[in-house]
Amino acid sequence: MKCELAPSILSCDPGRYREAVAELLAAGVERVHFDVMDGQFVPPITFGAGLVRSLRDLGDAVFEAHLMTLTPESHFDAFLEAGCQSIIFHQEATPHAHRLCQRLRERGIRAGVALNPSTPVDAILEVSDVLDLALVMTVNPGWGGQEFLRACLRKVETIRRECPDLDIEVDGGIDPLTLGLAKAAGANVFVAGSFLASCPTLTSGVEQLRAECD
Ligand code: DX5
Ligand code: ZN
């Protein structure tokens, strides 16, 4: 499957989000990953659809919203109207993941479901008929810069075995080494936040990750 990079701006300076996204797009990333936290599903609060809308003019890469929120469906319209082509919500935030995937697809949005490290993989398999992307968290959601949880790769292996054509994204603790591990397990979309922010430039960080992708 085609490998794609989906950098998160979470670890970038909030005063420089625009410059960061412009640089990432110039570096050729396929997606930009927006970590939306509501102070409820996870303790921190980040940003909302207004930020996505304000950056949409920068280019055509896929903008994906990772909704770490309660009642994710109450935010679908705002992120759709802001220009997201893909919305990922957490399985743990709703008893109706299947219906919410249907709703996203009806609106022409690619539907993604995220799993916390403690959530069993079955949750993904049960909605695979209406799913475009499975996001396997490889840290506990809420903060950048945490250590990659290798045990979560078992879920990636299971999903890839059951769903050969599904986009499988990993999120948390991704650097060139862990990207390689996740790719070997079957993932094909890679979020990276703090690794990129720690590189001399975002562009050089993207190049290092790309080298592992190809
Ligand atoms: C964590 C977020 C991640 C995070 C990734 O809750 O979903 O997208 O920003 O950051 P790193 O790469 O630092 O783990
Ligand atoms: Zn994320």
Question: Model confidence over 60-117: pLDDT tens digits?
Answer: 999 999 999 999 999 999 999 999 999 999 999 999 999 999 999 999 999 999 999 9
**Confidence at residue 153, expressed as pLDDT on a 0 to 100 scale:** 98
Residue 13: active-site member: no
Which pTM was predicted? 0.98
Residue whose CA is at the smallest distance from ligand 1 atom 9: 144
DSSP for 114-149, written as a single string: EE-TTS-THHHHTTGGG-SEEEEESS-TT-SSPPP-
Residues 169 and 38: their CA atoms lie apart, in Å, by 22
Residue 38: active-site member: no
Residues 107 and 121: their CA atoms lie apart, in Å, by 26
Catalytic residue among 60, 171, 175, 214: 171
Residues 204 and 26: their CA atoms lie apart, in Å, by 12
